[in-house]
Structure 1
Amino acid sequence: MKYLIVTVLIFLSSTAQAKHSIHLDEDKGHYKTQLMWPEVSIPWGMVQLPDGRMLATERSGTLFLLAENKPAIEIQGLPKIHVNNQGGLLDIALHPDFVKNSLIFFTYASPEGEGTGSHTALMRAKLDTKTNTITQQKVFYKGEGNTTKGSHYGSRIAIDDDYIYFSVGDRGARDLNPQDLSLDGGKIYRLNLDGSIPDDNPFVKNDRAKKAIFSYGHRNPQGLVKLDDTGTIWSHEHGPKGGDEVNLIEAGKNYGWPIISYGVNYNGSAFTELTKKVGMEQPKLFWDPSIAPSGMAVINSDKYPHWQGKILLGSLKFNHLVLLEVEDNKIVNQTKIVTEVGGRYRNVIQGRDGYIYLGVDGEGISRLLPMSASD
């Protein structure tokens, strides 16, 4: 295995807004990274199996089964996947009873349904590690309104003992999808673990709405987690130029895109004059300039005692990690973690073994190892 010594510089923000001044803290941590699986080029989704092996999705359409010091295995039997710029094979999660039922969930760009192109879909399937295949495939949800646009598929998954949450980006139709409850895109959805619609979903009695919608008014959410101690759902999403957001996700709430935003068009022109509006939620944090956040993990491992209870995410733009401290449903501090490894942090997870795993575009998957004082 390849080891790199990583110096971690910690920056603390004294406010909940990243656009305010950030000062350098005196505390410095030292870590090393162990390169585990360089063969995964764009490691979008990662999840560790109970036996310690890793499932990882390659956006180009491959599902890998990975074991330490062994060649990567390609899992067969995937559905038809439309690899289209930001679209492809996306996030992955295990069923809470995976040990008993071997069920997995994953999101992907599906060309099925009406129209040309694709839209984000969520599938459940059974993983067979003896034959290295997936079987018993069932599409739980498929966004309607296929498009050839290659942007804003999302997608992340969060799962608990009762529900599966998943995000779908606005699919490049900001003025159409996010604010319309009858259209897919720009939403976070919630389903029961059997694929049915929860009776208490916020729009089940709205005849015009998609019944699976949990929240709306999103741009392109690529981070989604549930905090164990509070049961709250948190997400982050890509803004335009400026205005990347972290949001506390609540049932039926409207998060404003594109009516309100702290960002502008990529050419610098404004598409809205509003940053606030009655009936629309304010982000708990926004970044200007944008950091292009991707991946999101709750850290509770005793291997990283100073990070326990905090949320770790990656930056595609600035090649660093960000650690968020949440208290009373507010972000009270953010910690910018700059490593010598660099790279576009596509995903970050905490494995069942307690270690943090980093997926970096073009470099593969690494394990982050805290160093003892004697190292």
Structure 2
Amino acid sequence: MNTSIVKKLRALQKLTLSLTCGALLSLPLVAETSWRLDTVASDLDFAWSLAFMPDGRFLVTERTGQLVILNADGSEAKRQAAALPDMFVAAQGGLLDVLLAADFDSSGRLFLSYSCGNLNANSTCLASAQLVNDELTAIRPIFRAQPERRGAAHYGGRMVQLPDETLVLTLGDGFDYREQAQNKAHHLGKTVRLTVDGAVPADNPFVHQAGIAGEVFTLGHRNVQGIVYDPQTGQLFSHEHGPKGGDELNLLSAGQNYGWPVATYGVDYTGARVSPYQRFVGMQDPLYVWTPSIAPAGMTLYQGALFPEWQGNIFVSALAGKALHRLQLTAGKVTAEQVLLADLATRLRDVRTGPDGAIYLLTDGAKGQLLRLLPN
């Protein structure tokens, strides 16, 4: 990352808000915009991530291991098993995010995150590949989070490419390893920043520091499943699952600690306290907190033309909450929240802003759908 971008991201920690949970839950409701919802495609098998191809088609990952190309009208053009090395499909694990490289138009290069290993020893992996004549080729693993762990939960797996072409990959704490989110020596409960070949960028916040993994960008996370970069402000937003309550929206800044499990608004699933602290010295407060938990799964920053009144709003798709949450930001603060699509009563895995300005969603399930939100 060039120096100006690093300085901008680090400076953003000063904007982080010290809000109480009570204040976060007392935001005003906002008036609804007139919209309609269309079904673009159906019969997707636990769809996880969506990308838009330059020719107007859609690229969808299915957690069960398939990469699906859909025509612009939603019909299936190609379905293929993503032959990723050592892919592990179980519970929350499998094929996760897909990200088209900045030079995809000329190179056909893309990135795929996935869980790798077996039930007793697995991790989050990242591979680069090329899409040539709709075939996935030149598959090359470029990163494997360490250490490996048991179980099949909390992989993170979302990606974003920054203007300097480095990648930020979100990770989880492995569920049973939450204390390790504070251990800088490895990757559990972190976000990592990598070059497109999986190397450590020379300007990463902890590079060449003894006992710290050079890939670490931020730490103190539980299970980060949403990340977006705002090219207009240089801000990098993420959200993560809390335990029972305490889901967070965060403003990421290089080298900062986001608290888990030392500081959290959530409690354990048994009702026991995870920590006595909601805030802790030297750790960043969330911009926003959801209690009870909505289980945030995807996120987009709306900068399309179809909904001018939604410009600069953040949209979060929810699994347990079974709705789409719109967050209005004013001067770096979340000032209003609107809950959309609750009447669908279905788990929403991903949300993206399309090049046409529409908002696209993936539902989560064995008969999943690609949906499109348009103005009336």
Question: Which residue of structure 1 aligns with residue 105 of structure 2?
Answer: 99
Task: Give how far 1:326 is off.
Answer: 2.5
Whether the 8 Å CA contact 2:303–2:311 is kept in 1: the answer is yes
Question: Following the alignment from structure 1 to structure 2, what is the Cα–Cα distance between the partners of residues 92 and 258?
Answer: 29
Match of residue 361, structure 2, among 355, 358, 366: 358
Cα gap change, 1:211 to 1:32, in 2 (>3 Å): same
Match of residue 173, structure 2, among 170, 175, 178: 170
AA at the equivalent of 2:52? Q
Question: Following the alignment from structure 2 to structure 1, what is the Cα–Cα distance between the partners of residues 177 and 327?
Answer: 28
Alignment coverage as a number of residue pairs = 352
Match of residue 127, structure 1, among 108, 126, 131: 131
The residue matched to 2:114 in structure 1 has which SS? Answer: strand
Match of residue 41, structure 1, among 42, 45, 55: 45
Cα gap change, 1:69 to 1:57, in 2 (>3 Å): closer
AA at the equivalent of 1:44? W
Task: Give how far 1:176 is off.
Answer: 3.6
Match of residue 116, structure 2, among 110, 121, 127: 110
Q: How does 1:52-67 map to 2 (within 5 A)?
A: 52-67=56-71
AA at the equivalent of 1:150? A
Task: Give how far 1:29 is off.
Answer: 2.5
What do you get for the CA RMSD once the two structures are aligned?
1.9
Q: Which moved more, 1:259-268 or 1:32-41?
A: 32-41
Task: Give how far 1:19 is off.
Answer: 5.0
For residues 289-312 of structure 1, give each alpha carbon's deviation from its aligned partner in whole angstroms, at most 9, with x where no partner exists: 111111000111111111111111
Question: Which residue of structure 1 aligns with residue 4 of structure 2?
Answer: none
Task: Give how far 1:64 is off.
Answer: 0.6
Whether the 8 Å CA contact 2:220–2:260 is kept in 1: the answer is yes
The residue matched to 2:258 in structure 1 has which SS? Answer: coil
Cα gap change, 1:77 to 1:66, in 2 (>3 Å): same
For residues 8-58 of structure 1, give each alpha carbon's deviation from its aligned partner in whole angstroms, at most 9, with x where no partner exists: xxxxxxx88575335544x33232222112121322111000101111110
Q: Which has the higher helix share?
A: 2
The residue matched to 1:178 in structure 2 has which SS? Answer: helix
4+ residue segments displaced more than 6 Å: none
Question: Following the alignment from structure 2 to structure 1, what is the Cα–Cα distance between the partners of residues 28 and 184?
Answer: 42
Cα gap change, 1:277 to 1:204, in 2 (>3 Å): same
Whether the 8 Å CA contact 2:147–2:188 is kept in 1: the answer is no
Question: Following the alignment from structure 2 to structure 1, what is the Cα–Cα distance between the partners of residues 148 and 371?
Answer: 35
Cα gap change, 1:303 to 1:185, in 2 (>3 Å): same
Question: Which residue of structure 1 aligns with residue 243 of structure 2?
Answer: 240
Match of residue 90, structure 2, among 84, 87, 91: 84
- TM-score normalised per structure 1: 0.89
Question: Which residue of structure 2 aligns with residue 349 of structure 1?
Answer: 352
Match of residue 367, structure 1, among 359, 362, 372: 372
Cα gap change, 1:348 to 1:72, in 2 (>3 Å): same
For residues 159-213 of structure 1, give each alpha carbon's deviation from its aligned partner in whole angstroms, at most 9, with x where no partner exists: 1332111101001134442011112210001112333211110110212111111
AA at the equivalent of 1:361? D
Cα gap change, 1:203 to 1:22, in 2 (>3 Å): closer
Cα gap change, 1:19 to 1:326, in 2 (>3 Å): closer
Q: Which moved more, 1:355-364 or 1:287-296?
A: 355-364
Whether the 8 Å CA contact 2:24–2:288 is kept in 1: the answer is no
AA at the equivalent of 2:296? P
Question: Following the alignment from structure 2 to structure 1, what is the Cα–Cα distance between the partners of residues 20 and 332?
Answer: 11
Question: Which residue of structure 1 aligns with residue 16 of structure 2?
Answer: none
Question: Following the alignment from structure 2 to structure 1, what is the Cα–Cα distance between the partners of residues 28 and 354?
Answer: 31
For residues 88-118 of structure 1, give each alpha carbon's deviation from its aligned partner in whole angstroms, at most 9, with x where no partner exists: 1001111001101010011100118xx9331
Question: Following the alignment from structure 1 to structure 2, what is the Cα–Cα distance between the partners of residues 126 and 295?
Answer: 24
Question: Which residue of structure 1 aligns with residue 10 of structure 2?
Answer: none
Task: Give how far 1:342 is off.
Answer: 3.0
Question: Following the alignment from structure 1 to structure 2, what is the Cα–Cα distance between the partners of residues 179 and 98?
Answer: 36
Q: How does 1:315-354 map to 2 (within 5 A)?
A: 315-354=318-357
Q: Unpaired segments of 5 or more residues in structure 2?
A: 1-18
The residue matched to 2:76 in structure 1 has which SS? Answer: coil
Whether the 8 Å CA contact 1:233–1:249 is kept in 2: the answer is yes
Task: Give how far 1:75 is off.
Answer: 2.9
Task: Give how far 1:72 is off.
Answer: 4.6
Cα gap change, 1:369 to 1:358, in 2 (>3 Å): same
Identity over aligned pairs, percent? 35
Whether the 8 Å CA contact 2:304–2:355 is kept in 1: the answer is no
Question: Following the alignment from structure 2 to structure 1, what is the Cα–Cα distance between the partners of residues 223 and 178?
Answer: 14
Question: Which residue of structure 2 aligns with residue 189 of structure 1?
Answer: 192
Cα gap change, 1:326 to 1:24, in 2 (>3 Å): closer
